[in-house]
Amino acid sequence: RITGFVFDLDGVITDTAKYHYQAWKETAKAKLNIEISPAVNELLKGQSRQDSLAAIVRFGHQEGRRSAAELAAIATAKNQRYQALIAHMTQADILPGMAGLLNDLANKGYPLAVASASYNAPVIIARLGLSNLLANVVDPGAVARGKPAPDIFEAAAAMIKSPCATTVGFEDAAAGIAGINAAGMFSVGIGSAVTLHEADVVFPATGDADLATIERLFVAKAA
Ligand code: G6P
Ligand code: MG
């Protein structure tokens, strides 16, 4: 039996993935003259702010050309742009089906936790009006390794006292699915079946995520 659910935030509960992309695209162009594409962005999903910037610098072949202070200033500029983009978010920005799914899960007695690399997660959850349902949020600064390591998912499961083997994790990023799998959880991908081929089940969009299907496939995998 499933004992708990762990959710990524950006791209799973709300479409902030598009704001991260926009903020990085503008900042990389303005501060580094690097053009990032959707394909590059795919690799940034789930990565911490510092790791995302390091990946952009590598992509632009500018390794070693910027001081640590310059890189920190660029990361801060990106975050300021990102915070301006998310400032207007409301309950209407919860992705289709997710409010219903979270409520169903809570009503069924499943404990829920959020495993996001974002330091902005608590603010976004509050803006979405989900602070009660999603009260368990892992502090990304408290885990040793980022996604694709399992650390943040293990910490989320521990927060809700759900053994990893009977916990279900939701992710929109390949690195996140890898982390969920490495934690020994059942992985649910939201997005492209090609990008997320390592997931136990993939739904093209949040509105397609179906609890009965997840429960059935979880039991089949455990058997
Ligand atoms: C999530 C997003 C990433 C983002 C990271 C850090 O994992 O998918 O795109 O870089 O959070 O977010 P932050 O809000 O702390 O910059
Ligand atoms: Mg995500």
pLDDT in tens, 117-176: 999 999 999 999 999 999 999 999 999 999 999 999 999 999 999 999 999 999 999 999
- Report percent pLDDT > 90 for the chain: 96
In which element (H, E) is residue 202 found?
strand 201-203
200-215 residue pLDDT tens: 999 999 999 999 999 9
Q: Which atom of ligand 1 is nearest to the CA of 52?
A: 10
Distance CA 16, CA 93 (A): 9
Decide the pairing of beta strands 167-171 and 4-7.
parallel
The reply to whether ipTM tops 0.95 is: yes
- Give the Å distance between the CA of 49 and the centre of ligand 1: 6
Closest-lying ligand to the alpha carbon of 8?
2
Q: Which atom of ligand 1 is nearest to the CA of 46?
A: 7
171 is in an annotated binding site: yes
What is this structure's pTM? 0.94
User: Amino acid identity of 120?
Assistant: N
10 is catalytic: yes
15 is catalytic: no
